[in-house]
């Protein structure tokens, strides 16, 4: 996964993330996108993806002060790139990898069907999630990449890069 330094950074947060911080980040990202002249449909796709990825971190991320979550939004010639990175324990890696491999291999129509059937027939997780967060990000973005890279001991970075075309 590459992030070009030619991208113009609109928004960056590296630090603890909780439900008090999230609305501030949403507001900041929204302001940045408004300043870029981004209209509602695209703005909604980006902000909704930011919310889902951030709430996945709040619900499921491993916590280590040395390795805080990172969220950044940048502008490219083609549109916008949202990168979200957090720490995961190795016990989560296999699940994430097989879950996402399955999702990214799905044709868009199938993803749409999965989204709809999970919405209408799925159940809630113990943490109140609907199991739709990453499906939603894949569904709303124009390109989606992820990687798991070792950090230290039993932990890895889980990084998601979602691109949105103008």
Partner 1 sequence: MSDLTTSERLIIEPTFTTPEIRFDPAAGRFFIGGNSYPENSLKFYGPVLQWLQAWASKHTPTSETLTVEVRLEYFNTSTAKVLLDLFRLFESLYERGQPIQIRWIYVAEDTEMEDAGIDYQAAVKVPFELVPVDE
Q: Which residues bind partner 1 (CB under 8 A)?
A: 19, 22-23, 26, 39-41, 44-45, 47-48, 51-52, 55, 58-59, 116, 119-120, 122, 124, 127-130, 132-133, 135-136, 140
Nearer to partner 1, 39 or 66 (CB): 39
CB of 20 to partner 1, least distance (A): 9
CB of 17 to partner 1, least distance (A): 11
Nearer to partner 1, 95 or 116 (CB): 116
Nearer to partner 1, 79 or 129 (CB): 129
> Quick check: helix, strand or coil at residue 140?
helix
Give the contacts of 68 (CB within 8 A, at least 6 positions apart). Answer: 14, 15, 16, 17
* DSSP alpha helix (H) spans, 14-143: 21-35, 40-60, 90-104, 108-121, 133-140
CA distance 128 to 124: 6
Nearer to partner 1, 100 or 156 (CB): 100
C-alpha dist (Å) from residue 85 to 34, 35, 57, 58, 125: 24, 25, 9, 12, 22
CB of 73 to partner 1, least distance (A): 15
CB of 40 to partner 1, least distance (A): 4
CB of 16 to partner 1, least distance (A): 14
Nearer to partner 1, 125 or 149 (CB): 125
């Amino acid at each position: 996964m590459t992030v070009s330094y030619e991208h113009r950074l609109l928004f960056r947060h590296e630090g603890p993330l909780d439900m008090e911080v999230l609305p501030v980040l949403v507001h900041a990202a929204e302001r940045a996108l408004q300043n870029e002249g981004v209209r509602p449909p695209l703005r909604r796709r980006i902000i909704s993806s930011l919310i889902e990825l951030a709430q996945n971190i709040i619900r499921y991320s491993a916590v280590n002060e040395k390795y805080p979550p990172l969220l950044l939004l940048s502008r490219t010639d083609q549109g916008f790139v949202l990168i979200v990175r957090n720490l995961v324990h190795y016990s989560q890696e296999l699940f994430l990898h097989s879950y996402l491999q399955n999702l990214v291999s799905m044709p868009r129509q199938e993803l749409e069907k999965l989204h709809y059937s999970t919405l209408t027939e799925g159940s809630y997780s113990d943490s109140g999630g609907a199991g739709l967060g990453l499906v939603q990000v894949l569904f709303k973005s124009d390109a989606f990449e992820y990687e798991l890279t070792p950090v230290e001991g039993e932990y890895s970075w889980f990084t998601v890069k979602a691109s949105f075309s103008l």
